[in-house]
Amino acid sequence: MSSQPEPTNQQSEKNEISRREVFVKIGVLLNGLAAVILATPIIGYLVSPILEAKGNGYKRWIVLGELDEFPENQTRLARFKNPITGVSDGQTDDIPCWVRRLSGDQFQVFAINCAHLGCPVRWFPQSGLFMCPCHGGVYYQDGSRASGPPPRGLFEYQYKVEDGKLMIFAGQLPTLSTTAALRKRSGGCQG
């Protein structure tokens, strides 16, 4: 330090400016740091719907009804309360699904949502077809695609029978990437 020459007036002014520049940079840095610290909880808040969905986060085993509510060889509309609800859902958390009882404990439980773009499919027992009102998707009674734009058969819920009650594993809107964890099915005949 002592070896440095005495600063002239001009030099000291320059030093003064560079000192201010350093302070400005520190100021920017401090605000950047504060922004990062602030952003972390905000981002956590925003992406919480993704974090909560991890694994089977949104899904629960739900009782659909007594076995004898579903006659054999018939397909019936059933409804359940979504396991995850909010404070202002109204009736949007009443979710319908189609239950097909083959025989005894053999079931197929289909999501109401067309595999094409999610519109509600309707069951026509006379012709044994599910038809979609939006873009013309049609499915056979076993849920396999019959015609129209759907890229696959109807989404199917996992089910089990316990104490004479039919239960399904459900809780989120089924789409091509958020399938209701549904059993892999071998593609039916698409003749």
Partner 1 sequence: MSRLSRIGDWFEQRLQIGGAVREAAEHPVPRKSASWFYVFGSAALTIFILQVFTGIMLALIYVPSAAEAWNSLQFLNHTVTLGWFLRAVHGWGSNFMVAVVLIHMCQVFLFGAYKFPRELTWIVGVFLLLMTLAMAFTGQVMRFDQDAYWGLGIGASICGRVPVIGSYVVHLLLGGPIIAGATLSRFFALHVFIIPALLIGLVSLHLLMVLKLGVNEWPMPGRVVRRSTYMQEYHELTHKRGVPFVPVAIWKDMFFSAAIIVAVMACAAYFGPFGPTGYPNPTIIQTVPKPDFFFLWLYAMLALLPPSVETPLLLIGPVIAIGFLVLLPFISGEGEKSWKRRPIAVVTLLLIAVALGTFTKLATYSPWSPVMDGWSSDPVPVEFLNGRTPLQRQGALVFQGKQCRNCHALDGVGGKRGPELDRVATRMTHDQLVRQVIQGGGNMPAYGKNLNPAEVTALVSFLETLHPPNQLPARDAARQAVTPLQ
Interaction site with partner 1 (CB under 8 A): 46-47, 49-50, 52-53, 58, 77, 79, 82, 84-96, 112-113, 116-122, 124, 126-129, 131-136, 138, 140-141, 146-151, 171-173, 175-178, 189, 191
Which candidate, 36, 22, 182, 51, places its Cα nearest to that of 115? Answer: 182
The string of DSSP codes covering 159-187 is: EEEETTEEEEEE-S---SSS--SPPP---
Nearer to partner 1, 46 or 102 (CB): 46
Structure tokens that stand for 52 in this block = 């909560």
Q: Least distance in Å: CB of 136 to partner 1?
A: 4
Q: Least distance in Å: CB of 48 to partner 1?
A: 9
Q: Least distance in Å: CB of 27 to partner 1?
A: 26
Beta bridge pairs of residue 165: 66, 162
Looking up tokens 């594993």, which residue turns up?
A: 169
CB 166 within 8 A of CB 157: no
Nearer to partner 1, 5 or 151 (CB): 151
Nearer to partner 1, 5 or 86 (CB): 86
How far apart are the C-alpha atoms of 51 and 124, rounded to whole Å?
Answer: 39
Q: Least distance in Å: CB of 115 to partner 1?
A: 9
Nearer to partner 1, 121 or 166 (CB): 121
